[in-house]
Each structure stands twice: as structure tokens, then as C-alpha cells.
Amino acid sequence: MSTQRISIGCDHAGVAHKSAIISWLQEQGYEVINHGTDTLDSVDYPDYAHPVASDVESGHAEYGVLICGSANGVCMTANKHQGIRAALCWQPEIAALSRQHNDANIICLPARFADIDVCLNMVDTFLKTPFEGGRHQNRVQKISCA
């Protein structure tokens, strides 16, 4: 089995979370594409969300992880890309449902509202939870505007 590639990015609010998630992903054997930021200097979240969404949209990465203060900005940005289903998650159950029912391919994490351990649990849950298909497949197919 080939190693899954995960694309990750954040703004200045998510640097510590991103660092911990990257370390955890690498320990689990995932290949990580880090689009930054890696400093606490104020930056614009779309500059980091678009490259992650592009990686997932193009198939260069299987899944994406985006982090900002509330996760709203990165989620809105990623969802502008066709083929992206970015989900704002704040607890593991939401992460699981985003995969099971919505076939989400990017998880968006609120660094100011979920601590690092909760975020690690959400990423683990997200990556291990399969899409159920079935009655959800038709709904997911209706999401795209194209």
C-alpha cells in the first residue's frame, strides 16, 4: 500500500497546532506537504488555504488539513474549489460525520477553540473514517455547482 499524502496549511493562529499535527502525521507514516505558515507573523489565510485545496483537488494529496483561529476563513476559501468538500470540525464526532455522510476531503480546525489534543483526535478520526456512500452518495453528488 502506498503512503497517503496529506496537504496542510494554516495562518498565524494555527502554527502550534499545525506543528503538532505534522509530527503526529509523520509518526503515523503519512507523507506531509506543508504549505505554511511557520511563523506567528500575521498572514492572510487564503494564501495557505488555496494551495492545500489545489493539492486535494488535483489529486496531489488524498486529504487536506487547514487551521485558522475559527476555521471559518480557511473553510470558506477551500470550498471555493470545485471538488473540495471542506468541513469545519470542533469535535471528533463531527469529523467522523463529515467523512461518513459528506465525503469531506479537507478538515478545517479552529485553533482558538479546540486544543491540540482534540485536534489530533479529530485528524485521526477524519483520516480513518470511510465514506458510507449509499443514501449519502446522491446528496454528495448534488454539492458541486458544475
CATH code, 35: 3.40.1400.10
For residue 46, tell me if it sits in a domain: yes
Residue 65 bridge partners (DSSP): 8, 107
**How far apart (Å, rounded) are the C-alpha atoms in residues 82 and 18?**
25
Confidence class for position 1, pLDDT limits 50, 70, 90: very low
For residue 146, tell me if it sits in a domain: no
Q: Which domain holds residue 29?
A: 5-141
**How far apart (Å, rounded) are the C-alpha atoms in residues 112 and 74?**
14
For residue 102, tell me if it sits in a domain: yes
Residue 27 bridge partners (DSSP): none
Cα dist from 95 to 43, 66, 98, 103, 125, whole Å? 26, 13, 5, 11, 6
**How far apart (Å, rounded) are the C-alpha atoms in residues 73 and 68?**
7
Mean of per-residue pLDDT scores for the chain: 96
Domain count, the chain: 1
Phi then psi for residue 91, to 5 deg, are: -155, 155
For residue 135, tell me if it sits in a domain: yes
Confidence class for position 143, pLDDT limits 50, 70, 90: confident
Nearest Cα neighbor of 111 from 60, 68, 50 is 68
For residue 24, tell me if it sits in a domain: yes
For residue 91, tell me if it sits in a domain: yes
Could you tell me where the beta strands, DSSP code E, fall in the chain? 5-10, 31-34, 63-68, 86-88, 106-110
Q: Are 68 and 111 in contact (CB under 8 A)?
A: yes
For residue 112, tell me if it sits in a domain: yes
Q: Would you state the pLDDT for residue 89?
A: 98
Q: Catalytic residue positions?
A: 68, 101
Question: Could you read off the pLDDT of 85-133 as tens digits, one per residue?
Answer: 999 999 999 999 999 999 999 999 999 999 999 999 999 999 999 998 8
